[in-house]
Structure 1
């Protein structure tokens, strides 16, 4: 649907139903000007190519940008993943990557908004990033973690093996999750902040050796192959922190969720969470933890105390679908959980409605690979090389803008509050990492007009 003025982004409640998987794969070419065989998420395929995993994504969601509050049906059928080339041409503009989107309202009338800078260092595809104050950490498949200070290259350090799939920062510690199944811990030198040293890994050597002597600590992962329960044996795909409780959560392609105590790096719990790879984990509100998987489900885990021990129990499955769940993000203030998937859709659930399904955000034509929230905004990065900016007002989401410029899939997002931000004009600095080997830095205001308003200006 389009509005009377020809706008392509608006909020709609209750009338749009999600297209079936088969329909999406055979979309009208006039609506989706993409090649028929271009049905896979770039980052999913790039990841899975190196690990032997076979996955794919559908070609997208209905044209335009929609908010749809119609509840989704559940389908637990396995996803028919297939490999396909990930470097197909974009369905969007073919203009140079430094040119702003024609749909981006951050033009001269809003000169303080939009693209601030592009950070490029030709050393690998950007798979992960994390921001803390004036520092930005970026991880790539070159095994390097690059450090930027005030948007300028500052320093870097390198792991022995495994591309860097996840980065989180807790105080002075930097945790990185890798393709080789390891979680490494780093710290900047007090004498020279440019120098970062590895101070440990998860699990610790001490815990690894201690556990290895007890046969009960082993689990069978493949026929005739046993591994220690406290160690990931496949790629660590995601990390999330619960700072209040001093906990680190890690999800892996080995289908498990592990819980670590930050203070002493001890593995408190290993959970067989899903039937396929865990692609995303997000520590939530009220002791809840959310996990999303290639098996098409989003699960809710509650942290419970059992004597002196902590145990996470499965309390709810929010979603069951054919398409892989590829990204999760939690708005702690509003108590809303967002889920991106390989069909290009973003679903969300609201705590005030007892985690009932709140609606669907339709803005991408390919898989959603990353999500981030800040204030009343939600950011979704996609294999279609764009970033959609959504503003939440109550239960209604409006698409403010579409940030384009990357020439490869957008694989990771980070958000920090802008120093110029105020209560009257809430502003955010958004970092986007892409498989085009660049990181882009954007300034976004919550008070910016949405696309529909821009159409009438």
Structure 2
């Protein structure tokens, strides 16, 4: 099929775990409107500081200045290498045969900034602004497929179907070929042509779109920012910069509902628990919606506003036990609410210098990726959050995260494989353990702060600094 790109490692490279000094920003950034700094702030790639041999390059690669598209961005203006941190002290976790959090390697296919990730078993799907979706297996490029237009901003896997959300406002649906596991065939586009023609016959199906033009309500009029599945995996949610979210039935690809959710772009959406859906927006608010089934469709009712602030909400996540809702913001802070306390505010996690762009949860862990190029690993125990480590190694903002349970976990240890996608065009693979020793302690008010900023080590000599609200 024309949309299928087969092949093993064509152009893809993987290198062993690399080290890179953490780098931070000394200049405060402007207000973030959406979670894609490239969309608003840069159109031309810039040269970064000369850093010598890149840890992502083969040993025989010539000395060169790596290209840095974000070096002139308000995210990371005046980037300067931090002096090396002292090596991490000997950990008692090693004595207990628990492995620390480590960088396992990098997947590089220098064709675009990584905007989306999705992991399923031993497969990893990566989306970028090249319009290609690459599929990796056992840390090698396994296959790929390409959309006709629209960079890949979101990927969700629902059984045998793979849904991709794009910059052009469309959702494309793919399925692995029954004859060749390395081929992915496109089986649909949302909204479907049949649904589009049927709805277009009735004037009541038209709403005011951007620039005072009318369009069908089943279509997004701006970029899709995220995709999410309902708890029972029967509905697909799509959120967009057009200020709405839409509900799709997975079985027949029909659009059931469109909700005008916010006053600005909807940057994130997550289906939670008890039929609740959480949305976060560039207008600084987090809203809760209650889903009800009505006949063959759905109806979402506004329930409450969890947060209203000046800075944009950039990411949302619900932990696997469905007991905590996390919200990331452009001020570098992560807020959380607790289900058992009727969604009362539980506190904030402070560990980043710049905007938090993505969140992911696994077991008792929550990981936050930031424009400061670091990933904070937090562990929740008895309502208290501890920072286990700060993963550093990326040379650009961390845009997306995905996680799978490590099938090779040691006895008595809970480990995960974490994938991080960055605007440095690479995906890094980490092994993270819940039993790793903590770097941070939790204050009585629920705010997590470092024990010692001057000595708190990351896994590759990065440093963490709290960001004041």
Normalised by the shorter chain, which TM-score bucket?
0.7 to 0.9
The residue correspondences of 1:285-434 to structure 2 (distance < 5 A) are: 285-421=273-409, 424-434=412-422
8 Å CA contact 1:301–1:313 kept in 2: the answer is: yes
8 Å CA contact 1:39–1:84 kept in 2: the answer is: no
Give the direction of change, closer, same or farther, for the CA distance of 1:159–1:283 in structure 2 (3 Å limit): same
Structure 1 position 90, deviation (Å)? 4.5
RMSD of aligned Cα (Å): 2.8
Provide the C-alpha distance between the structure 2 equivalents of 1:102 and 1:43, rounded to a whole number of angstroms: 33
Provide the C-alpha distance between the structure 2 equivalents of 1:166 and 1:101, rounded to a whole number of angstroms: 38
Matched, 1:247 2:225: no
Provide the C-alpha distance between the structure 2 equivalents of 1:148 and 1:446, rounded to a whole number of angstroms: 25
8 Å CA contact 1:203–1:230 kept in 2: the answer is: yes
Aligned to 1:256: 244
Provide the C-alpha distance between the structure 2 equivalents of 1:116 and 1:387, rounded to a whole number of angstroms: 15
- Residue 408 of structure 1 aligns to a residue in which SS? coil
8 Å CA contact 2:244–2:259 kept in 1: the answer is: yes
For structure 2, which runs of at least 5 residues remain unmatched after alignment?
Answer: 1-22, 44-71, 442-450, 458-469
- Choose which of 200, 208, 223 in structure 2 pairs with 1:220: 208
Structure 1 position 222, deviation (Å)? 3.4
Aligned to 1:28: none
**1:164-209 per-position Cα deviation (integer Å, ceiling 9, x unaligned):** 0000000111100000111000111111111111110111110000
For structure 1, which runs of at least 5 residues remain unmatched after alignment?
Answer: 1-31, 52-82
Give the direction of change, closer, same or farther, for the CA distance of 1:362–1:208 in structure 2 (3 Å limit): same
Give the direction of change, closer, same or farther, for the CA distance of 1:155–1:308 in structure 2 (3 Å limit): closer
8 Å CA contact 1:40–1:84 kept in 2: the answer is: no
Give the direction of change, closer, same or farther, for the CA distance of 1:103–1:294 in structure 2 (3 Å limit): farther
- Residue 147 of structure 1 aligns to a residue in which SS? strand
TM-score for both structures, normalised by structure 2: 0.78
Aligned to 1:44: 36
Give the direction of change, closer, same or farther, for the CA distance of 1:191–1:94 in structure 2 (3 Å limit): farther
Aligned to 1:206: 194
The residue correspondences of 1:433-452 to structure 2 (distance < 5 A) are: 433-451=421-439
Q: How many residues align?
A: 391
TM-score for both structures, normalised by structure 1: 0.80
Provide the C-alpha distance between the structure 1 equivalents of 2:208 and 2:241, rounded to a whole number of angstroms: 15
8 Å CA contact 2:116–2:127 kept in 1: the answer is: yes
- Residue 118 of structure 2 aligns to a residue in which SS? strand
- Choose which of 149, 153, 157 in structure 1 pairs with 2:137: 149
